[in-house]
């Protein structure tokens, strides 16, 4: 029978159609390389390039004034060429964190060809890496029990379409028991993929639950763009260019998303083994999702005992004729009369929405509505939203 055997040329077994491996072999340089002291070296083999730059969220920022406000913007740095390999090393160690970057080859922004790890944010794709320790470890997969992450579709009678959710169920869920539910909402330009990818929800929850700091809970990440069924590439629209849409497009339907939110809750409570009732439900969101969480929780004051507003919250003047927003004061009065267990606001001190959030805090204080406030440095960035999730989640369902 020996002649029936075949020596598989294993190194060639997973060749794709155009046999790229035979042509290119593996990546010619290591990039990024996180050194033991937490400095990081980036490399690109490009002997024919004339200028290679590196752009990333770990570079120092400069405040730039625009008509839309003041922004902290990092400028690209030049990488240095030697023997055809361009290189740049951070002058200082980086703090533990998930970072994102691109390279710019003679003016063309590309992902680092040596790094397969990328995350899409709206219409841009970034190469990513993690510097471990402290928060970096919180965002990493560790030797702890892991929850399950599912992409599941539900029928929304209110929005008259099938829509996609990302759902995290904690380790042990499959074995039984009932769990409280945390609804986690993205910002403008995001979708049901934003929190699980950029937000590191499953890693943060896995790690904090394993440490005993967070109650085992289900986390439901919705798609808050009421005109969409699902994230770009995941709906019948196919591989379209992702877009944030215009403000007008979003506002035309966001009241529908807010008012039909009970559709989501109903589906989740029918589909998963959940603890029911206000004390077992939390809602939080970032930016646009903070406005949504603010509006949903005041429109349905018996639904959520825990409300988190990350880098947003308060009213929306352009929607003030909409009944959802128009009677904001009246709705808030009803909501706070029912004493939510936690009303939590978080913001960076360089956030371009800082002033509005400050005014909302003043309003709550004047009215005597209790809330907690957590302030960080920096602005309207994912680094902050991961921190807010890590701070907010341990506060839930402990009443």
Range 55-94, binding a copy of itself (CB under 8 A): 55-57, 59, 61, 64, 66, 68-69, 71-74
Alpha helices in 300-346 (DSSP H): 323-326, 328-337
Is residue 288 part of the contact set for a copy of itself (CB under 8 A)?
yes
As beta bridge partners, residue 154 has 163
Cα–Cα distance between 44 and 145 in angstroms, integer? Answer: 37
Residue of 192, 140, 181, 109 whose CA lies nearest to 34: 140
Nearer to a copy of itself, 6 or 337 (CB): 6
Q: 80-105: buried (b, 16+ CB within 10 Å) or exposed (e) per residue?
A: ebeeebbbbebeeebebbbbbbbbbb
Site residues for a copy of itself, 206-225, by CB under 8 A, read none
Is residue 36 part of the contact set for a copy of itself (CB under 8 A)?
no
Is residue 149 part of the contact set for a copy of itself (CB under 8 A)?
yes
Nearer to a copy of itself, 226 or 396 (CB): 226
Is residue 41 part of the contact set for a copy of itself (CB under 8 A)?
no
As beta bridge partners, residue 8 has none
Nearer to a copy of itself, 229 or 279 (CB): 229
Site residues for a copy of itself, 366-385, by CB under 8 A, read 378-383
Cα 390–Cα 393–Cα 394 angle in degrees, nearest 5 = 95
Is residue 308 part of the contact set for a copy of itself (CB under 8 A)?
no
Nearer to a copy of itself, 163 or 396 (CB): 163
Cα 359 off chain centre by = 26
By CB under 8 A, name the one of 88, 126, 300, 304 that touches a copy of itself.
126
Nearer to a copy of itself, 225 or 390 (CB): 225
By CB under 8 A, name the one of 78, 110, 266, 372 that touches a copy of itself.
110
Residue of 167, 175, 168 whose CA lies nearest to 147: 168
Is residue 9 part of the contact set for a copy of itself (CB under 8 A)?
yes
Q: Which stretch binds a copy of itself (CB under 8 A): 136-144, 210-218, 273-281, 292-300?
A: 136-144
Tokens of 135: 């928060």
According to DSSP, residue 95 is labeled: P
Could you tell me the sign of the dihedral formed by the alpha carbons of 169, 395, 382, 156, in that order?
positive
By CB under 8 A, name the one of 40, 44, 94, 209 that touches a copy of itself.
44
Site residues for a copy of itself, 310-329, by CB under 8 A, read 312, 314-318, 320, 328-329
Is residue 226 part of the contact set for a copy of itself (CB under 8 A)?
no
Contacts of 167 (CB under 8 A, 6+ apart): 149, 150, 151, 152, 218, 219, 220, 221, 268, 272
Residue of 288, 296, 294 whose CA lies nearest to 250: 288
Is residue 238 part of the contact set for a copy of itself (CB under 8 A)?
yes
Q: Are 125 and 119 in contact (CB under 8 A)?
A: yes
Is residue 333 part of the contact set for a copy of itself (CB under 8 A)?
no
By CB under 8 A, name the one of 80, 134, 150, 349 that touches a copy of itself.
150
Helix axes of 201-210 and 382-392: crossing angle, nearest 10 degrees? 30
Least Å distance, CB 146 to a copy of itself, is 4
Nearer to a copy of itself, 68 or 337 (CB): 68
Least Å distance, CB 283 to a copy of itself, is 19
Nearer to a copy of itself, 313 or 397 (CB): 313
By CB under 8 A, name the one of 40, 42, 43, 46 that touches a copy of itself.
46
Is residue 204 part of the contact set for a copy of itself (CB under 8 A)?
no
Cα–Cα distance between 157 and 260 in angstroms, integer? Answer: 8
Nearer to a copy of itself, 229 or 260 (CB): 229
Q: Which stretch binds a copy of itself (CB under 8 A): 219-227, 292-300, 336-344, 351-359?
A: 351-359
By CB under 8 A, name the one of 92, 142, 349, 365 that touches a copy of itself.
142
E strands present in 79-180:
80-82, 85-89, 97-105, 108-110, 118-121, 124-131, 148-156, 161-169
- Count residues binding a copy of itself (CB under 8 A): 136
Nearer to a copy of itself, 180 or 232 (CB): 232
Cα–Cα distance between 289 and 223 in angstroms, integer? Answer: 10
């Amino acid at each position: 029978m020996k002649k029936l055997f075949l020596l598989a040329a294993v190194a060639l077994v997973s060749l794709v159609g155009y046999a790229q491996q035979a042509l290119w072999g593996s990546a010619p340089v290591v990039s990024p390389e996180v050194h033991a002291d937490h400095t990081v070296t980036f490399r690109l083999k490009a002997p024919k390039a004339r200028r290679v730059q590196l752009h990333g969220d770990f570079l120092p920022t400069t405040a730039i004034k625009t008509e839309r406000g003041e922004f902290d913007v990092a400028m690209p740095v030049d990488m240095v060429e030697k023997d055809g390999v361009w290189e740049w090393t951070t002058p200082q160690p980086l703090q533990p964190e998930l970072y994102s970057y691109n390279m710019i080859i003679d003016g063309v922004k590309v992902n680092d060809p040596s790094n397969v790890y990328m995350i899409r944010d709206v219409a841009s794709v970034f190469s990513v890496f993690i510097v471990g320790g402290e928060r970096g470890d919180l965002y990493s997969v560790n030797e702890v029990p892991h929850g399950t992450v599912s992409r599941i579709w539900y029928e929304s009678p209110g929005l008259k379409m099938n829509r996609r959710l990302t759902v995290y169920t904690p380790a042990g869920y499959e074995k039984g028991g009932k769990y409280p539910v945390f609804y986690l909402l993205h910002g403008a330009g995001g979708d049901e993929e934003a929190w699980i990818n950029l937000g590191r929800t499953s890693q943060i929850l896995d790690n904090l639950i394993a440490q005993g700091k967070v109650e085992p809970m289900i986390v439901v990440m919705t798609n808050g763009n009421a005109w969409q069924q699902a994230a770009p590439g995941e709906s019948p629209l196919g591989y379209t260019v992702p877009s944030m849409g215009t403000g007008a497009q979003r506002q035309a339907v966001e009241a529908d998303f807010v008012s039909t939110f009970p559709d989501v809750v109903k589906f989740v409570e029918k589909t998963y083994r959940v603890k029911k009732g206000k004390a077992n439900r939390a809602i939080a969101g970032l930016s646009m999702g903070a406005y949504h969480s603010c509006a949903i929780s005041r429109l349905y004051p018996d639904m959520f005992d825990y409300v988190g507003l990350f880098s947003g919250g308060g009213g929306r003047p352009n929607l003030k004729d909409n009944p959802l927003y128009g009677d904001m004061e009246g709705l808030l009065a009803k909501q706070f009369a029912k004493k939510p267990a936690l009303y939590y606001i978080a913001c960076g001190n360089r956030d371009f929405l800082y002033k509005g959030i400050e005014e909302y805090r003043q309003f709550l204080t004047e009215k005597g509505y209790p809330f907690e406030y957590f302030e960080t440095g920096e602005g309207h960035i994912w680094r902050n939203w991961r921190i807010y999730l890590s701070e907010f989640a341990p506060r839930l369902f402990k009443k």
